[in-house]
Structure 1
């Protein structure tokens, strides 16, 4: 429990704790999540300050609120955000092993597999600075390791994250064009993400190793720590690590590489590798991160986000699936990739050309539909109509695109295509629910 009356010394001397404040199970900066078990942290936002929602949190029963307001159950501090981060650093210092993971693609997958191998606590999907701070406060004192996803989209952000998380091990999964609107170039991405390797035990994925000469690498082939005898089939991936056989159901190469990372981390932590391999076989990645749904036809849900390197990896995985001929085809369904800057059309065209090589049928939707697929749809409803007519038993359908809205430096909105609705529709049709 998080006791507001037992704050660390760097906070307790500057905080005024209301006598009715009581311990909480966890923290949130979203007042809609406040409850008798969940305390509220009033943080500055892009449009409004969290102080505007303090009363709502108190009415929901929040055990305490971290704020500069003089209200019931307040932990009153001059700056709630600074106090939150100070508290997080204090709790993080109690943990013996914290792993930080970044990269242009594959961060969530690597996090899931590293955490499984280490039997660690790990960050949920939402990985902003406040989310990471709350995670460190809640789990920092645990005897189990912590695995933190450390994504960035602007210069200087990795330095801020490093000051907060201070990982013992820093990992870079991949490097490629992503968030170019803010970071500017692949060279800048290499430099910014490479900050996670400074002052830590550094590990980089096989693809990223070309950008970080001298760093220890993991994966398959010519790397420092390699898995052997990798076999990829529609049923999943198998390989050996040392004398340990690893079997990953419904996994592709990206997941297998993440498993090698996990096993190396477990090995360095002195854990029993056969037990770690058993935990790896049970990993369930979050929806939208290469989740395979087998059935009359197979749907690969990789629709959470997209960048050129991530789409290329997903297409490589699609190639390992059964397909071709009348009994089953490989089908790619691709939408817009966000934050690629002035070269976005060319990057979409490169990805689309590769999709045509890997898939028997390629579909594109949205602004760059014609670049992404031989069959182009302007809108998602048009795409759904085309897919419903085309998809048949035995097919394997990969769905991938960016979601949400990004903002260019001149404040123009760029809308991604949320293809999670396509995944849902394909599954409903397949299972006779629509």
Structure 2
């Protein structure tokens, strides 16, 4: 069992594991950020080179916000001066990570965030927030590496060679692959490349793969790999029962109940129990914590009411949409799928959207699509999000369950997202507002 944490240690700019010229007015901080908008009297700023701009352009903004120190190559007040801020940050992160006794790294084509949430709850661990870039992971390791509690790190990739860089930074004791499917095909090229790249995490001391990913990692090629989930796997949950309100299953003699969950969440909970066993945490305690997992907006949140809204609008890939449609199918009443474009699928994107649309028609009673591949995704097709929203609000009624899922299009303007059919969080907001105001048909 791990010791409880107590108060987090402050980050001292005068006690660094790398050479630096430290301004005498630099102060200790509670955490680091690479986003100057988050700088404050408690949060120091790391000035990193970006694709379009350098963090040095925002050093003055961070200092004006009260940042205790700034990691940069500039000679400014409260500076920690180094030739390369990113290299220094990563060295610091590796130094702090080495102090932690148990680090879990999680990757996969879908389900990473869900697995992270349930694993962290089972282990009572610190875990990565939504952002999972290299700088974000480095800042997380600097802050929590020396903690007595375990760490759970989401390790997403979208280019060849990135997993090797992440492994050098995180060095997980356990490497987990949740799923393998067509994501980031524009950069990674093929399913085989995706499996090979994500499989780099299985260089960790213990190797765990979800049931869907298991066929991509045979023990003959990945020595010591173990699988988890349901069915023919190394660590199996059994007696899985899913309703619109709960998922129930057993793991050995332990019964687990997960409110408002589906099979994806249940499989993530099996992972959590496997990890809890490894470090000697009582399964009863792990199960209780996992029953209270809360996920961020857009990450499969089931919002009950006169009609149910499944908010899964944060991101989408073919494998993730299929899993969400399976969850929708478990609900009673009319089942409505609202799907938008999935990004970064490469030259086969139309075919992949059509396959997902066919699956939606099999799992849902009404299907809506929006954006470039609207007709592939749904029988009711709309060019823009506002047009979709108006039509949906005129159709939805008491007793329905509505699934909302699409890629984020985070780099797009609101207008571009609306026309592309991504960023469907506004549809979720409109549905909830109409439900609250009673602007819904009766059954």
Tell me which interval the TM-score lies in, with the shorter structure as reference length. over 0.9
Aligned-residue offset at 1:200:
2.7
Selected match of 2:241 from 224, 231, 236 = 231
CA contact (8 A) 1:339 1:406 kept: no
Selected match of 1:177 from 160, 182, 193 = 182
Selected match of 2:319 from 305, 309, 320 = 309
CA contact (8 A) 1:405 1:416 kept: no
Deviations, residues 239-266 of structure 1 (Å, cap 9, x unaligned): 1111111000000000000000000000
Aligned-residue offset at 1:415:
4.9
Asked if residue 260 in structure 1 is aligned to residue 270 in structure 2, the reply is yes
Asked if residue 6 in structure 1 is aligned to residue 11 in structure 2, the reply is no
Measured on the aligned residues, the alpha-carbon RMSD in Å equals: 1.2
Asked if residue 200 in structure 1 is aligned to residue 205 in structure 2, the reply is yes
> Could you tell me which residue of structure 2 aligns to residue 389 of structure 1?
394
Distance between the aligned counterparts of 1:68 and 1:293, measured in 2? 48
Selected match of 2:347 from 342, 356, 380 = 342
Distance between the aligned counterparts of 1:355 and 1:48, measured in 2? 41
Distance between the aligned counterparts of 1:428 and 1:87, measured in 2? 46
Aligned-residue offset at 1:406:
6.8
Aligned-residue offset at 1:199:
3.6
Asked if residue 427 in structure 1 is aligned to residue 432 in structure 2, the reply is yes
Distance between the aligned counterparts of 2:411 and 2:329, measured in 1? 31
Distance between the aligned counterparts of 1:338 and 1:201, measured in 2? 32
Distance between the aligned counterparts of 1:416 and 1:396, measured in 2? 20
Selected match of 1:77 from 71, 78, 82 = 82
CA contact (8 A) 1:337 1:416 kept: no
Asked if residue 278 in structure 1 is aligned to residue 288 in structure 2, the reply is yes
Q: 1:406 to 1:36 in 2, by over 3 A?
A: closer
Q: Could you say what secondary structure the match of 1:5 adopts?
A: coil
> Could you tell me which residue of structure 2 aligns to residue 292 of structure 1?
302
Deviations, residues 111-131 of structure 1 (Å, cap 9, x unaligned): 000000000000000111000
> Could you tell me which residue of structure 1 aligns to residue 105 of structure 2?
100
> Could you tell me which residue of structure 1 aligns to residue 121 of structure 2?
116
User: Number of residue pairs matched?
Assistant: 419
Selected match of 1:359 from 355, 364, 382 = 364
CA contact (8 A) 2:249 2:255 kept: yes
Deviations, residues 121-176 of structure 1 (Å, cap 9, x unaligned): 00000111000000000000000000000000000000000000000000000000
> Could you tell me which residue of structure 1 aligns to residue 173 of structure 2?
168
Q: Could you say what secondary structure the match of 2:327 adopts?
A: helix
CA contact (8 A) 2:383 2:421 kept: no
> Could you tell me which residue of structure 1 aligns to residue 148 of structure 2?
143
Stretches (4+) displaced over 4 A = none
> Could you tell me which residue of structure 1 aligns to residue 93 of structure 2?
88
CA contact (8 A) 2:372 2:420 kept: no
Select between 181-190 and 377-386 the one with higher mean Cα deviation: 377-386
Aligned-residue offset at 1:31:
1.1
